[in-house]
A and B are shown apart, each in its own frame.
Chain A
Amino acid sequence: MKTTSWALFTYPVMDIKAAEALLNRRAAEGWTLDRVYLGAFARFVPADTRSAWCVDWSRPGYSERPDYLALCADAGWTLVQKVGAFNLYKAPIGTPPIQTDGVEEARRFRREVLLCGLKSWAVLLGLLLVLAALWLLVSEGSWRSALMAVLLTNVGLTLLLSLPAILTGWLLWTGRLLLRLRQWDRAAGGPLPVPGQRSAGAAAWLCLLCRLWGVAVLICFLLDAGLHMRLSTALGMLIGSLLGLSFHQHRRDKEGRSPINSPINTVLNALILSAVLFAAFLTPLTDRLMPAPVLENKTFVSGAQREDQDFRNRSGLHFTDGPLYASASDEGSFGLRHQSWREETEEDFGTSYSVRRSWLGRPYLVPMGGGYLVDCYTARWEWLSRLVQDLLREPWYPPLEGYTDVWLQEADLGGGKTDSLLLLRSGKTVVMVETRSGPIPRSQVDRLLSLLSSDQEV
Chain B
Amino acid sequence: MARKKLDTLTEQMYYVLLSLTKERHGYGIMQYVSELTGGRVAIGAGTLYALLSRFEKEGLIQLAAEEENRKRYRLTDEGRKVLEEEFDRLRRQVADGVRVLREEDDHEND
Interface residues of A (CB under 8 A from B): 56, 63, 66-72, 74-75, 77, 96-101, 103-105, 108
Contacts and interface: CB of A to CB of B under 8 A. Distances in A.
Nearest to B53: A62
B70 A100 contact: no
A74 B47 contact: no
Contacts of A68: 45, 49
Contacts of B70: 67, 70-71, 74
Contacts of A75: 27, 30, 44-45
A96 B44 contact: yes
A71, A97, A104 pick with most chain B CB within 10 angstroms: A71
B10 A71 contact: no
Instruction: Please classify the interface of chain B as helix (H, G, I), strand (E, B), loop, or mixed, using the class held by over half of its residues.
Output: helix
A66 B10 CA distance: 27
A50 B48 CA distance: 26
Contacts of B48: 71
Interface string B3-32: 000000010100000000000001100100
B29 to A, nearest CB: 10
* A-B CB proximity, top 10 nearest: A74-B27, A100-B44, A96-B42, A98-B46, A70-B69, A75-B45, A71-B26, A66-B69, A101-B47, A72-B45
Contacts of B27: 71, 74-75
Nearest to B43: A100
A100 B71 contact: no
B69 A67 contact: yes
B106 interface: no
B31 to A, nearest CB: 9
Contacts of B47: 98-101, 104-105
Contacts of A103: 10
B46 A72 contact: yes
B63 to A, nearest CB: 10
B11 to A, nearest CB: 9
A71 B27 CA distance: 6
26 contacts: A56-B46, A63-B46, A66-B69, A67-B49, A67-B71, A70-B68, A70-B70, A71-B27, A71-B45, A71-B70, A72-B45, A74-B26, A74-B30, A75-B44, A75-B45, A98-B44, A98-B45, A98-B47, A100-B12, A100-B43, A100-B44, A100-B47, A101-B44, A101-B51, A104-B50, A108-B50
A63 to B, nearest CB: 8
Given A71-B26, A104-B50, A99 B69 contact: no
A77 B50 contact: no
Contacts of A100: 12, 42-44, 47
Contacts of A70: 26, 68-70
A99 B26 contact: no
Contacts of A56: 46
Contact of A99 (B30, B46, B68, B71): B46
